Amino acid sequence: MRVLSGIQPTGRFHWGNYFGAIQQYIALQGNEQSFYFIADLHALTTVREPLALREYVWDAALDLLALGLDPSQATLFRQSDVPEVTELMWLLMTVTQFSLLEKCTSYKDKVAKGISADAGLFTYPVLMAADILLYDSDVVPVGADQIQHLEVTRDIAQRFNHTYGAECLHLPTARVLKEGAKVPGTDGEKMSKSYGNTIEIFEAEKPLRKKIMSIKTDSLPLEAVKDPDSCSVFALYQLFASPEQQAILAARYRAGGMGYGEAKQAVFDASMAYFQRAREKRAELVANPTYVEGVLQAGAIKARAKGKEVLKRVRQACGLGAHAG
């Protein structure tokens, strides 16, 4: 079973990214058929600062390796290091209906938010389809809101196969990521870069504590009884603490006499303990950039080898290449 997943480098990964997706992506590794790429070509639709993009890509590689992605169990590479994906994208574009792309909710939502409707944004789903189809992917883990992307990929692949009378593109299936616990941001809303309320996984200790202590709470006085079930601070604590630890803090909420500052300190301490090994691993990786780049280059070589096999089939189906006679 070949698993394929791409992660956009549009900023530093935060707690919402980890508990919502990255944790589950890494859990799916375990064989050499897992392909994970850093989607720097996709990021060009929103990141227009070259230095920033390079840093985001590098940070993504460091973070994924530090969080447990194992190069002996999965293939990690930069999307742009596999040029076959853009050639496949063009070949898919020639059979993709305009009306199919117009229906994509991600495009409509971004346009509604005022994001420039350029060709890159409009054809984004075709590049995504190329990402998936280039490696004969069997399973693509997605959130419930991304199922349409897999449906579009399957539609494009089926149309290509029908057009050329060849079953040369393998149809993938979606594996819907389980709905994890809500990860609230510093303002109590869903943690998201677009809301500016994120807590980064590898934020430095002092800024991390300052950010946690700034989490929005109600104005109940110190002596008041508090409800852990409606508190975003407690919701964050649940991500890191054992059931026993959660029960103890919940009892403190309900007994009164505890300020939110104490609960926030508990979140800080628990999160630092939870990511301690990952933080140590990341520091080791930062000190060894040659190793990290080597992982990415080796991953690209392996990804290209598989991609060339698929692209050869597609080119032959289209009639491209040298004359057979």
What are the catalytic residues?
110, 190, 193
Burial 4-18 (b: 16+ CB within 10 A, else e): bbbbbbbbbbbbbbb
The closest of 177, 197, 181, 185 to 241, measured between CA atoms, is 181
Quick one: angle between helices 147-164 and 84-93, nearest 10? 70
Phi, psi of 107 (to 5 degrees): -70, -45
Stated length of the chain? 325
The closest of 6, 22, 5 to 200, measured between CA atoms, is 22
The closest of 15, 1, 63, 64 to 36, measured between CA atoms, is 64
Q: Alpha-carbon distance 137 to 100, whole Å?
A: 22
Q: Please classify residue 315 by burial: count the beta carbons closer than 10 Å to its beta carbon, then call 0-12 exposed, 13-18 middle and 19+ buried.
A: middle
Q: Alpha-carbon distance 50 to 18, whole Å?
A: 25
The greatest distance separating any two alpha carbons of the chain, rounded to the nearest whole angstrom, comes to: 88
Q: Alpha-carbon distance 279 to 8, whole Å?
A: 21
CB 21: neighbour CB atoms within 10 A? 19
Q: Alpha-carbon distance 322 to 325, whole Å?
A: 9
